[in-house]
Amino acid sequence: MLIGYARTSTLEQKAGLEAQRESLTAIGCERLWEEQTSSVGLRDALRAALDYAREGDTIVVTKLDRLARSVRHLGEIVEELEAKNVGLRILNLGLDTTNATGKLMLNVLGSVAQFEREMMLERQREGIRKAKEEGKYRGRKPTARLKAKEAQRLLAQGMTKRDIAKEIGVSERSVYRILE
């Protein structure tokens, strides 16, 4: 059985999710799991698809980045699938792990993707460093600190830190930090 998994990072990417859905159904996926969550967020639909897969099934995704967040994460998924004798197909790469060549190519491409991401982050850090040196980058505006007086007022009124966080629109951790 072909089992499809589709993911977009944000709710605004409805067209991307629809395109993935169309591609997966066009190649014959009988079951389809989809979700709209960031790669680092909880991915309940991915977990459900992996749990559903049985020996001889194949998980199908349109692109590698829709499935795994890193080479390590990809390795964990592939290991789980191999233990269940479940294959993996990545459509845009023409990759199928039910054969030895497909497994080799998956590892190579996963490593290249991680290298590319690390290079992008390195360039980003260099750009930020340079902008700081030129006085053009000051970082993110400290939104929680600007709300410190309001947080102290609400605390004095007997409100819990969790409720204060919801009230002023910052994380609970930020409330603890500004009230210390």
Q: Which residues are catalytic?
A: 9
Sign of CA dihedral 19, 24, 25, 27: positive
Tally of CB atoms within 10 A around 104: 12
Cβ neighbourhood burial of 136 (10 Å; 0-12, 13-18, 19+) = exposed
DSSP readout, 29-79? -SEEEEEE--TTS--HHHHHHHHH--TT-EEEESSGGGT-SSHHHHHHHHH
